[in-house]
């Protein structure tokens, strides 16, 4: 790619281009740039290139002679007449698609106007494209030219170190670029999304695509009409538009939060849990197998308990999960000799030891300034007490803590008693509560009871529930950002309760 810039300020152009990525590309011979001084083609001894406008008016106009002569001299040297781009706010707004088209050319000429513009006859004779970088006026065309050269050059093979970088940057496929993160993993209480840390590149690619769609809808919704989306991506985009509409009409007084895998990470305790359960028989592979067996058994056991008369507490639920896990893994046989009771008690104890996610304290502090905060968890006091103590030590307390073992009701139970009790205790309408949780039980229970719901999936697990959440997030900081956009309705009423 060869750039030829017709300008009154050649030094300004070359100083701007001989730096960073573009400067290195010029040094490597991947692109070339020359600034042609229009003043060198002046037709009087004083090197004038401008004159007063016919018909009167303020300012000066660049004469057609020097401009056309500069171009004709260039065309003669090249042996062809390349495209000429004139920088003007009257032109078509420059875009990534236009950059991709221009990058196919061997030579490009940029004509930089100055003063009140260029004599129209010169433009008629040589200009092929009228382009703008926005609806505002600059002193000259030099800055827009450098902007466009930078953008176009990034599409020239070899200019970027990573061959894929240009393809996946902002505006690829008419979508904005996904968020980027680097070290440290935690900065001022804000954590890098877990999906980027687990090494699953299929999940990472999917997350990045969804983030591009979400960011485009939030910041440049005008681009969505030309975005190329699969059916699944269009469904996701529709859900983001639904989130925005829900948030626009929302009047939340209460934020209800699930505990485990929302505020506290039980999975971080998996090695400790299974070392205590398996003892000398512990291996990482066996720990994963045991954890997967418990996770697989839990929703089945919980669903079965819904159909039974009476209420099963968390100890009984995990005892049944342990029974199923022992059957699947064989840990109760031979040299393992793990008992159902031991597995149950170790799992319950380690819930209480689960560490807080890094974003929890800072986000809850922010939310507490505007909303009433409550905890709503399928848990026993034993499971919750350690986590609640660590939150209290960090200055976070809840107006009310609702635990399934104390209410004798499940969040996702068919009787809907859990969230009905939450509304009754807090003296609010269901639609005035936003419940945030990580499970199908959280979303279905809240939705059936008339609450708004938010699915948090820190590890980007697929959601398989029938009831759909009003919002989807991968970390608490995302809901804080969304709630900042909601007008402060109902807060005075809450204060008067």
* Averaged pLDDT for residues 243-260: 94
Statement: the pTM of the whole predicted model exceeds 0.75: yes
Burial code (b: 16+ CB inside 10 Å, e: under 16) for 55-78 equals eeeeebbbbbbbbbbbbeebbeee
Helix spans in 118-229 (H): 120-126, 142-153, 201-219
Average the pLDDT over each of 92-96, 215-219, 308-312 and give the range with the smallest value: 308-312
Task: For residue 495, name the pLDDT band (cuts at 50, 70, 90).
Answer: very low
Q: Is the predicted pLDDT of residue 169 greater than 60, yes or no? A: no
Whether residue 157 has pLDDT greater than 80: yes
Residues 314-340 have pLDDT tens digits of 999 999 999 999 999 999 988 898 999
Segment 215-237 shows an average pLDDT of 94
Question: How far is 119 from 44, CA to CA, in rounded Å?
Answer: 17
Give dist(CA 143, CA 241) in Å, integer: 36
pLDDT of residue 497: 37
Checking if the pLDDT of 488 tops 80, the result is no
Using CA atoms of 91, 92, 98, 102 in order, give the dihedral in degrees to the nearest 10.
-20
What's the whole-number mean pLDDT along residues 55-79? 95
Q: Is the pLDDT of residue 490 over 70?
A: no
What's the CA gap between 319 and 342, in Å, rounded? 9
Q: Residue 491: what pLDDT?
A: 43
Q: How far apart are CA 178 and CA 167, in angstroms?
A: 13
pLDDT of residue 172: 62
Q: Pick from 236, 193, 195, 246: which is nearest to 216 by CA? A: 236
Residue % of the chain over a pLDDT of 70: 96
* pLDDT value of residue 189: 82
Burial of 219 (0-12, 13-18, 19+ CB in 10 A): exposed
Whether the per-residue pLDDT at 221 is higher than 90: the answer is: yes
pLDDT band at 493 (very low <50, low <70, confident <90, very high): very low
Phi, psi of 91 (to 5 degrees): -85, 175
pLDDT-based confidence at residue 380 (cuts at 50, 70, 90) = very high
Lowest average pLDDT, out of 72-86, 140-154, 218-232, goes to 218-232
Please say if the pLDDT value at position 273 is more than 50: yes
Amino acid 44: pLDDT: 87
**Helix or strand holding residue 497 (H, E):** none
Number of helical H runs and strand E runs in the chain: 19, 15
Q: What pLDDT does residue 173 have?
A: 77
- When pLDDT is averaged across residues 218-230 and rounded to a whole number, the result is 93
Mean pLDDT of 116-126: 95
CB 326 within 8 A of CB 304: no
pLDDT of res. 162: 67
Give the C-alpha separation, 2 to 142, whole Å.
Answer: 17
Is the pLDDT confidence value at 110 over 90?
yes
- Which of 27-41, 169-183, 185-199 has the lowest average pLDDT? 169-183
pLDDT-derived band at 438 (thresholds 50, 70, 90) equals very high
pLDDT in tens, 391-418: 999 999 999 999 999 999 999 999 999 9
Residue 144 has pLDDT above 90, yes or no: yes
């Amino acid at each position: 790619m060869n750039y030829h810039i017709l300008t009154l300020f050649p030094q300004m152009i070359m100083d701007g281009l001989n730096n960073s990525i573009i400067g290195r590309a010029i040094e490597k011979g991947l692109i070339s740039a020359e600034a042609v001084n229009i003043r060198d083609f002046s037709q009087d001894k004083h090197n004038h290139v401008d004159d007063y406008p016919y018909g009167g008016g303020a300012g000066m106009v660049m004469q057609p002679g020097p401009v056309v002569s500069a171009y004709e001299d260039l065309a003669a040297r090249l042996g062809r007449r390349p495209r000429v781009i004139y920088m003007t706010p009257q032109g078509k707004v420059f875009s990534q698609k236009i950059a991709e088209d221009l990058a196919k050319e061997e030579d490009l000429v940029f004509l930089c106007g100055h003063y009140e513009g260029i004599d129209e006859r010169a433009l008629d004779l040589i200009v092929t494209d009228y382009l703008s970088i926005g609806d505002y006026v600059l002193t000259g065309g030099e800055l827009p030219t450098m902007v466009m050269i930078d953008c176009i050059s990034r599409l020239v093979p070899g200019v970027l170190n990573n061959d894929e970088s240009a393809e996946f940057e902002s505006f690829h496929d008419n979508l904005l670029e996904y968020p980027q993160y680097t070290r440290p993993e935690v900065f001022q209480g804000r954590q890098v999304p877990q999906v980027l840390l687990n090494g699953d590149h299929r999940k990472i690619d999917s997350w990045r695509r969804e983030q591009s769609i979400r960011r485009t809808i939030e910041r440049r919704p005008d681009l969505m009409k030309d975005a190329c989306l699969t059916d699944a991506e269009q469904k996701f985009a529709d859900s983001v538009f639904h989130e925005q509409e829900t948030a626009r009409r929302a009047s939340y007084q209460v934020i209800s939060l699930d505990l485990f895998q929302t505020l506290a990470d039980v999975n971080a305790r998996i090695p400790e849990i299974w070392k205590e359960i398996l003892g000398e028989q512990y291996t990482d592979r066996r720990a994963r197998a045991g954890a997967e067996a418990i996770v697989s058994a839990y929703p089945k056991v919980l669903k079965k308990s819904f159909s039974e008369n009476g209420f099963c507490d968390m100890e009984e639920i995990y005892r049944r999960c342990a029974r199923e896990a022992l059957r699947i893994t064989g840990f109760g046989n031979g040299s393992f000799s793990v008992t159902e009771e031991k597995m149950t008690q170790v799992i319950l104890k380690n819930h209480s030891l689960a560490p807080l996610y890094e974003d929890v304290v800072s986000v809850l502090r922010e939310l507490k300034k505007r909303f009433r905060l409550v905890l709503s968890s399928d848990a026993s006091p034993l499971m919750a007490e350690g986590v609640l103590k660590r939150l209290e030590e960090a200055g976070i307390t809840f107006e009310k803590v609702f635990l399934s073992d104390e209410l004798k009701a499940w969040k996702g139970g068919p009787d809907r008693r859990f969230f009905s009790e939450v509304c009754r205790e807090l003296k609010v309408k269901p639609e005035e509560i936003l419940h945030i949780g990580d499970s199908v039980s959280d979303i279905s229970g809240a939705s059936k009871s008339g609450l708004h719901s938010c699915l948090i999936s820190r590890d980007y697990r697929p959601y398989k529930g029938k009831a759909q959440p009003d919002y989807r997030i991968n970390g608490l900081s995302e809901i804080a950002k969304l709630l900042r956009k909601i007008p402060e309705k109902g807060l005075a009423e809450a204060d008067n309760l």
